[in-house]
Structure 1
Amino acid sequence: MAPTRPTAATGLRTLLRAAPRTIRPPFLARTASPQLPAQRWHSSVNPDEVSHFNALASEWWDPHGSSRLLHLMNPLRHDFINACLASQPEARPPSLTYLDIGCGGGIFAESAARLPSTSSVTAIDPTPSVLAIAKAHAKKDPMLASKLSYQQKSIEELPIPEKGYDVVSVFEVIEHIDQPAAFLDKVKPFVRPGGWLVMSTIARTWMSWLTTNLVAEDLLRIVPPGTHDWNKYINEHELRRYFAGKGWHSPRVMGVVYIPGVGWREVKGSEKVGNYFFAVRRDAEES
C-alpha cells in the first residue's frame, strides 16, 4: 500500500505533539474577536506589554537579536508608504512630517529621519528602557538631531498639533493594544486632512497562530516567547469595517510573508492569513 501523503492537518498535529504540553491553539476555544466597536477607555498602555519590551531593550539594535525580524521588515515599511504616497502624487507635500507611534528602539523612526524627503519625525513610546536605547542610538549620528525627536509618551499624553502629520505610522503596535478601536479614535486627530495612517499587524487565523506563536515563539524561538497574544490579532476586514464612514478613504493593503534565509516578501492574498500592512487616507475636507 502506498504511504499516506502528509497534509496541512497532519503537519499541524505533528507540530502540536512536538510542542510543550501546555500549548493549545486558542482558536480551538472559539474565542471572541477583538472588540473594534467603541469601548470604555482608560489608556492604550498595557503594563504587561511595557514590562515585556523593557526586558528586550538591550537587543533592539542587534540585527541578529530578538528584533531581527523588525530589521528585516523595515525596507517593506518604506515601500508601502511610498506606494501610498504615489497613489495620490498631486497631494504629496514637498517634505514630510512623521509621527511614529510605539516607535520602540527607533528602527523605523531613524530610517525615516534620514530620508531627504523628511522634514521631521516625532517618535513616541511608553517603554522607558526601550526609548533610552532609541535615544542613545540616535546620538551616534549628529545629523539626526535636527529632524528626530523621541518622547516617552502614550498617544493620550501627546498634544495634538495644529496641522497634524503627513504620515502617522503604527507598526507592530495594534496587536498589543487592549482596545484597538478606542486607540484608533485617539490617533485620528494626529493625521492631517489628506494625510496617511499606515500600520502593520497580523490576521487572526489558525495559520498565524501556527507561524507566529507556535513556530516563531515556542519552537524556533526567533521571536521572544510572550511577544504576541493571538486573541489580539485583527483581520483586514475588521479594520476596513472600523474605518468605513469615519472620515477615511483609499484603504490599501499589502500581505507579507517571512521566508527563512530570504527575508520578508510581498505575497498577494497573504493578508488573509498572516502579517500585512494596512493604510487609509484621512478625508481632505475634514478639519
Structure 2
Amino acid sequence: MAPALAQAAAGLARGARRSKAAATGSWLSQGLGRARGGLAQGQQPSSIWAAAQSAPRWHSTASTSSVNPDEVSHFNALAADWWNPHGSSRLLHLMNPLRHDFINACLASQPDPASPPRRYLDIGCGGGIFAESAARLPSTEHVTAIDPTPSVLAVARAHARRDPALAPKLLYRRSSIEDLPVPPPDRAFDVVSLFEVIEHVDRPAAFLDRVRPFVRPGGWLVMSTIARTWTSWFTTNLVAEDILGIVPKGTHDWNKYINEDELRRFFADKGWSHPRVMGVVYVPGLGWKEVRGSEKVGNYFFAVRRDE
C-alpha cells in the first residue's frame, strides 16, 4: 500500500474507533447540518428511516415522491459546470472508474454472470457522467437514465448529442422513480444504479422498495453513499464544503447519510441477497482509492442482488 494510502487507512481506523459508539443507534440532532449550525437544544437523534418518513412531500403525479425540491434547486444551479472535470463535479469524474470496477466485481461474483449485452437503469443520473460511460461499453445493450432536475438533464442530453453513436444506446428521461413505469419482467434491468443518490432523497425506505421491480431477478442494485459518522461530517461537510470548497456548499445533509449496517438490515428478508461493500477514500493527488474498512466512516459502494 502506498504511504499516502497507508496513512489514510490508519486515520480512518482511528476515526472508526472514535465514532463507532456515536454512529450506532444515535447521532447528532437534526440541527447539526453544518459547522455553523451547532446542536439543536433539547432534540434527540432519530433514525434516518423514521426522519425521512416525516420529511415534507414533493408534489408529483405519484401519490408520494422521494424527490426533494431543495435538492432539485441545488443541483439545477450546478448544471452548467457538470462536465468540467476540474469544476464542481470534479470528484464525481474521479470516482467514475471505481463505479465500473465495483459493478464488474459484483457481476463476476455470481455463479451465473449475466452475459452481455446488459441493460442499465441509472437513477439520479445528473449530467450523465456514469450513464454515458456505461453506454459506451461494448457489453451494453442500452442505458435508461432518469433525473428530476431539468437543467442538469438538459446538460446531459446536450453532451450526449456530441456523439451520434450514443443515440441508439442511451435514453434520458426527466422522471422520478415513482413516475417511471415499471417494465415487464422480461425487460427489467441487469444493473440499476444509485450513485450519490440515496443521501439526497426523501423517504429512502419507500424509495428503495420502489426500485426493486426494475431489477431483473438475478440482477444487481448498486449504489454509493456516505456513512453517518463524526468523521464523515468533518470531512464532507466541514472540510470539503466549508473550508476547502472542493464541494459546493449545501450539497450534503449529514442527517441523511446512511450507514452500511442500516442498508444490510433494510435489505434482509426482502428478496435480496449477496450484499457487497467497498469503502473508498479520496486521497489528494491520487484520486479515489479503495481502503478496506473505510465504509464504516465515510464514502462507500454497496450492492445487493435480487433473488431469482
Question: Do both share a fold (TM > 0.5)?
Answer: yes
Match of 2:166 in 1: 144
For the pair 1:122 / 2:149, whether they are aligned, the reply is no
Partner of residue 242, structure 1? 266
Consecutive aligned runs of 4 or more in structure 1 exceeding 4 Å deviation: 36-41
Which residue of 194, 197, 200 corresponds with 1:173? 197
Q: Which of residues 27, 30, 33 is equivalent to 2:47?
A: 33
SS of the counterpart of 2:112? helix
Residue 42 of structure 1: how far off its partner (Å) = 1.7
8 Å CA contact 2:49, 2:203 repeated in 1:
yes
* Number of the residue aligned with 2:81: 59
Does the 8 Å contact 1:36/1:238 carry over to 2?
no
Alpha-carbon distance between aligned partners in 2 of 1:25 and 1:256, rounded to the nearest angstrom: 29
In structure 2, relative to structure 1, the CA distance for the partners of 1:21 and 1:226 (3 Å cut) is closer
Q: What is the rounded CA distance, in whole Å, between the counterparts of 2:216 and 2:271 in structure 1?
A: 12
Q: What residue in structure 2 maps to residue 155 of structure 1?
A: 177
1:41-81: CA deviations, max 9, x gaps? 72011110000000000000000100000000000000000
* In structure 2, C-alpha distance between the alignment counterparts of 1:129 and 1:21, rounded to whole Å: 30
Residue 270 (str. 1) matches residue 284 (str. 2): no
Q: CA RMSD in A?
A: 2.0
Secondary structure, aligned partner of 2:178:
helix
Structure 1 residues 130, 38: CA separation in 2 closer, same or farther (over 3 Å shift)? closer
Secondary structure in 2 matching 1:155: coil
- Give the corresponding residue for 1:72: 94
* Partners of 2:53 and 2:202 within 8 A in 1: no
Q: TM-score, normalised by structure 2?
A: 0.83
Measure, in 2, the Cα distance between the counterparts of 1:109 and 1:42: 26
Among candidates 63, 85, 97, match of residue 119 of structure 2: 97
Alignment partner, residue 109 of structure 1: 131
> Which residue of the partner structure matches residue 24 of structure 1?
38
Q: 2:30 maps to which residue?
A: none
Give the superposition deviation at 1:21: 7.3
CA distance in 2, matches of 1:100, 1:195: 14
The runs of 5 or more residues in structure 1 that have no matched partner are: 1-6, 9-19
How far, CA to CA, are the matches of 2:208 and 2:221 in structure 1?
10
Alpha-carbon separation, structure 2, partners of 1:72 and 1:37:
32
Displacement of 1:36 after TM fit?
6.3
Q: Is the 8 A contact 1:38 1:182 kept in 2?
A: no
Q: What is the CA deviation profile of residues 4-52 of structure 1, one whole-angstrom value per residue up to 9, with x for unaligned ones?
A: xxx98xxxxxxxxxxx9724378x9652230169958720111100000
Cα deviations by residue, 1:180-236 (Å, 9 ceiling, x for unpaired): 000001000000000000000000000000000000000000000000000000000
Does the aligned pair in 2 maintain the 1:254–1:268 contact within 8 Å? yes
For residues 55 and 222 of structure 1, what CA distance do their matches in structure 2 show?
16
Note the residue ranges of structure 2 that are not aligned, 5 or more in a row. 1-13, 16-33, 55-62
Hey, what does 1:11 align to over in structure 2?
none
Alignment of 1:251-266 (within 5 A): 251-266=275-290
Cα distance between partner residues in 1 of 2:148 and 2:103: 24
Q: Is the 8 A contact 1:199 1:279 kept in 2?
A: yes
SS at match of 2:168: coil
Deviations 1:131-175 (A, max 9, x none): 000000000001100000000000011111112100000000000
Counterpart residue number, 1:220 = 244
Amino acid aligned to 1:181: A
Question: Are 2:217 and 1:193 aligned?
Answer: yes
Find the residue that maps to 2:175 and give its secondary structure.
Answer: coil
* Residues 253 and 278 in structure 1, CA contact (< 8 A), matched pair in contact too: yes
SS of residue in 2 equivalent to 1:63? coil
- 2:27 aligns with none
Query: Are residues 203 and 25 of structure 1, via their aligned partners in 2, closer, same or farther at CA, if it must alter by over 3 Å?
Result: farther
Partners of 2:50 and 2:192 in 1: CA distance: 20
Structure 2: which amino acid aligns with 1:145? Answer: A
Tell me if the contact between 1:31 and 1:231 (Cα under 8 Å) persists in the aligned partners.
no
